[in-house]
Amino acid sequence: MDDSVPDMHTGDRPTLKTIAALTGLSIATVSRALKDAADIGEDTKRRVRDEAARVGYRPNRAGVRLRTGKTNVIALVLSTQEDVMNHTSRLIYSVSAALKGSPYHMIVMPFAPGEDPMTPIRYIVETGSADGVIINQTEPGDPRVRYMQARGFPFATHGRTEMGLAHPYFDYDNEAFARVAVRALAARGRRHLALIAPPPAQSYAAHMTTGFLDEAQRLGLRAGVFSGVTSDSSAREIEDMVAARFAGAERPDGLVVGSPTAAMASVAGAEGCGLRIGAEFDLAAKEAIRFLNLFRREMIVLNEDVSRAGTFLARAVMDVIEGRQPDAPAQHLDVPDDTGRMPRPD
């Protein structure tokens, strides 16, 4: 086949007609293949997508919106709060990868700490600048969820809510994480534990705190939750708080922390008091990108698979937009076992 692109002049944008001529298919078939229509075979879809990618085809968004009322855009609305080696980059990458080959593209809409998280949501819904939204840092009574649900706007959440509203979500079982962490610390002989929990307004803070306190009580351990800092506090604030606590007479010998930043800052604070991890104290944490054991190999580290979350959420919100009934419920809770591994979703 001639590799040249027919009916095009230099600077012209390739169109559906261009791809149809190159593949020998009708324009209608090309259009339906690019829309992932169920009645088009996978081989045909792959052939059309490959040719579209080769010639650099991009749908005319203004034309698509005029014809269908859709933007073919999914917005990922994320906080810009600092999180070293954070979940955010992994989530962005996995959502983007899941949308590849679909009609949809992703935009990232950040909001700053202290800014009303409803602001970007209202903007998207009121302007119709996206067809669906993915949000994280959910709250038990999250106003963003209530707002979008009331307006029938497609969305999915990274995290659960407690509002009695059925909506797509993917969540990590932070209660189970805390229980596994407490048992691991107890197995190392630790008897006085402390938790640096997530911000209390967020849903997973209650889950993690419940698991931590309940499991410690079940095992007959002393346990308490740090006040004055959370796992989202700055590294300096956490380091200073841990140093002050470890310098006292009632210092804990085991820590459970809710973020990689908090884990590293906690170790720095304890080591500033002359204590050694694996000797005078131990620490359990979770991470989305494996690096904490490179920082201190003695850490107890569980993996949180944010890549799987992004893939699941992207597919879930596309299903809602397209009105498709998914093969499985669009809700998943990743539960770690005692090794920190995650079972695959059914």
Mean pLDDT confidence for 63-70: 56
- The neighbouring-strand residues paired with 68 are none
Mean pLDDT confidence for 283-291: 92
User: In this predicted model, which residue has the larger pLDDT, 198 or 52?
Assistant: 198
> In the chain, count of helices (H) and strands (E)?
13, 11
Q: Per-residue pLDDT tens for 99-108?
A: 988 889 999 9
Chain mean pLDDT for the chain? 87
- Residue 23 tokens read as 């593949």
pLDDT for 168 equals 94
Task: Evaluate whether 293 touches 264 at the Cβ level (below 8 Å).
Answer: no
Name the band, by pLDDT with cuts 50, 70 and 90, for residue 82: low
DSSP string, 181-198: HHHHHHHTT--EEEEEPP
Name the band, by pLDDT with cuts 50, 70 and 90, for residue 49: confident
pLDDT for 63 equals 53
Q: Is residue 149 classed exposed, middle or buried when 0-12, 13-18 and 19+ CB atoms within 10 A define those classes?
A: middle
C-alpha to C-alpha distances, 164 to 76, 93, 146, nearest whole angstrom? 24, 31, 10
- The neighbouring-strand residues paired with 111 are 79
pLDDT for 61 equals 55
How many whole angstroms separate alpha carbon 168 and alpha carbon 19?
35
pTM recorded for the entire structure: 0.77
Cβ neighbours of residue 212 closer than 8 Å, sequence gap 6 or more? 178, 179, 181, 182, 193, 195, 197, 223, 225, 256
Query: 306-316: string of b/e by CB count within 10 Å (b at 16+)?
Result: bbbbbbbbbbb
Written as one letter, the residue type at 188 is: R
Q: Is the pLDDT confidence value at 3 over 60?
A: no
Q: Per-residue pLDDT tens for 146-187?
A: 999 999 999 999 999 999 988 999 999 999 999 999 999 999
Task: Evaluate whether 207 touches 171 at the Cβ level (below 8 Å).
Answer: no
Instruction: Indicate if the alpha-carbon torsion angle 180, 186, 191, 196 is positive or negative.
Output: negative
pLDDT above 70 covers a percentage of the chain that reads: 88
DSSP string, 131-180: SEEEE-S--TT-HHHHHHHHTT--EEEES---SS----EEEE-HHHHHHH
Place of tokens 């309940």: 214
How many whole angstroms separate alpha carbon 206 and alpha carbon 200?
7
